[in-house]
Chains A and B, each alone.
Chain A
Amino acid sequence: KQEVTQIPAALSVPEGENLVLNCSFTDSAIYNLQWFRQDPGKGLTSLLLIQSSQREQTSGRLNASLDKSSGRSTLYIAASQPGDSATYLCAVMRAGTASKLTFGTGTRLQVTL
């Protein structure tokens, strides 16, 4: 059974800092991995999708890496801003066209002025 773990559970940084969020998963037979952002009481916004054959994806100040063999992914946020404050969720999809996503517990990020 796939287990997804995210550390740290919570993180507070001053504005402008670069930061790294970590995600690990137990079963490396994945189809892809997605990073999501969740604002309080809101839905999930997809940030980055990495296919199992890829090593990383970039979008603006965000960079996500994937090391499938070791079961790890990182989300790097450059030059953090207060608007980045949210919960960041990592989720993996196992091989199979309509397979479910298994989510981690998330990292709650607060960027302070």
Chain B
Amino acid sequence: EPEVTQTPSHQVTQMGQEVILRCVPISNHLYFYWYRQILGQKVEFLVSFYNNEISEKSEIFDDQFSVERPDGSNFTLKIRSTKLEDSAMYFCASKLEKLFFGSGTQLSVL
């Protein structure tokens, strides 16, 4: 079965550093998403992306965050200046109809 692939599986960074989380969505999917889950909390929506632009974003997705689909296969989430509270599991997802999630990137900001 096709799957959404995320790299790296774990990322440790210093506060204030930039990080880029990478995702390869399922090839024929049209909608792309980033979600995050802080330890012990709900999975939260960050942003949705369709037709090469952001279609919706949450209040969490402030100016420190950006997304890009630089080519036909990759979908990236950039955090410009990480904060301690950005530590979470970040999930990429894609869909045609049903949403498929990647296995996540555990981001730890020290």
Contacts and interface: CB of A to CB of B under 8 A. Distances in A.
Contacts, number: 50
Contact of A49 (B31, B55, B98, B101): B98
Contact of A46 (B50, B56, B99, B102): B99
A57 B86 CA distance: 37
Size bracket of the A interface: 20 to 34
Contacts of A36: 101
The secondary-structure label for the interface of chain A is strand
B101 A46 contact: yes
Interface stretch (B12-20, B41-49, B67-75, B76-84): B41-49
A89 B43 contact: yes
Interface string A93-110: 100011111111110000
A60 interface: no
Given A42-B103, A43-B101, A46-B101, A104 B42 contact: yes
Interface in B53-110: 55-56, 58, 89, 91, 97-104, 106
- Can you list the 10 inter-chain pairs with the closest CB atoms, starting with the nearest? A43-B103, A100-B45, A44-B101, A103-B43, A98-B55, A98-B50, A49-B98, A98-B31, A43-B104, A43-B101
